[in-house]
């Protein structure tokens, strides 16, 4: 059996704040919708009650719970399913806590239970994110794409993926420091 490594996906302060804000806003919409509901107003029910609740439920299922690293594939653990990232063609892996600084979301979830989707930053250009704590960013560089993941121990993750994929060691990346444990 292939060697496997499991990494948790701790939530950073920004994700906690964004998720709490999202829950409050969507919950507030539902409360207003229920409290001010006009009789027979299907459109009101749909926009003020059903849609916000559906957004919350869908977002919960995209929560990133961890990362399972195998020699040929990285699985991003979701709530009840996995996103699969084949590691064929991986050129480099580096821990870079500055990689996502001032990132712009092009498409995806920008902070409700995770940061996932297509983003762009000045430092690394366009990338796909599967993240929970942006200060733990590990940049996976492929010839045709860049992926950012945020395992609980990014330095160990980079060491393991570098070793099992036979990549050249490039150091810790970024400032080389440890991520803040808050």
User: For 28-37, 117-126, 145-154, which range has the lowest pLDDT when averaged over its residues?
Assistant: 28-37
State the average pLDDT over residues 30-56.
85
In the chain, pLDDT over 90 holds for what percent of residues? 74
Q: Tokens in use for 156?
A: 């160990």
Q: pLDDT, tens digit, for every residue of 51-95? A: 999 999 999 999 999 999 999 999 999 998 999 999 999 999 999
Say what the pTM is: 0.85
Q: pLDDT, tens digit, for every residue of 146-170? A: 999 999 999 999 999 999 998 887 6
Phi, psi (deg, nearest 5) at residue 19? -65, -45
Does residue 171 register a pLDDT over 70?
no
User: For 6-20, 35-49, 79-93, which range has the lowest pLDDT when averaged over its residues?
Assistant: 35-49
Does residue 182 register a pLDDT over 50?
no
Whole-number pLDDT of residue 54: 93
Q: Binning pLDDT at 50, 70 and 90, where does residue 144 land?
A: very high
Does residue 119 register a pLDDT over 50?
yes
């Amino acid at each position: 059996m292939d060697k496997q490594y499991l990494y948790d996906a701790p939530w950073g302060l920004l994700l906690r704040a964004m998720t709490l804000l999202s829950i409050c806003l969507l919950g507030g919409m539902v409360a207003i919708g229920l409290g001010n509901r006009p009789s027979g107003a299907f459109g009101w029910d749909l926009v003020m009650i059903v849609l916000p609740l559906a957004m919350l439920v869908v977002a919960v299922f995209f929560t990133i719970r961890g990362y399972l690293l195998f020699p040929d594939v990285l699985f991003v653990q979701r709530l009840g399913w996995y996103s699969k990232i084949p590691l064929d063609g991986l050129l480099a892996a580096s821990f870079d806590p500055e990689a996502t600084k001032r990132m712009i979301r092009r498409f995806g979830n920008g902070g409700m239970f995770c940061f996932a989707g297509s983003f762009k930053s000045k430092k690394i250009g366009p990338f796909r994110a599967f993240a929970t704590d942006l200060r733990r960013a590990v940049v996976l560089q492929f010839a045709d794409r860049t992926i950012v993941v945020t395992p609980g121990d990014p330095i160990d993750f980079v060491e393991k993926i570098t070793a099992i994929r036979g990549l050249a060691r490039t150091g810790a990346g970024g400032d080389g420091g440890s991520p803040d444990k808050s």
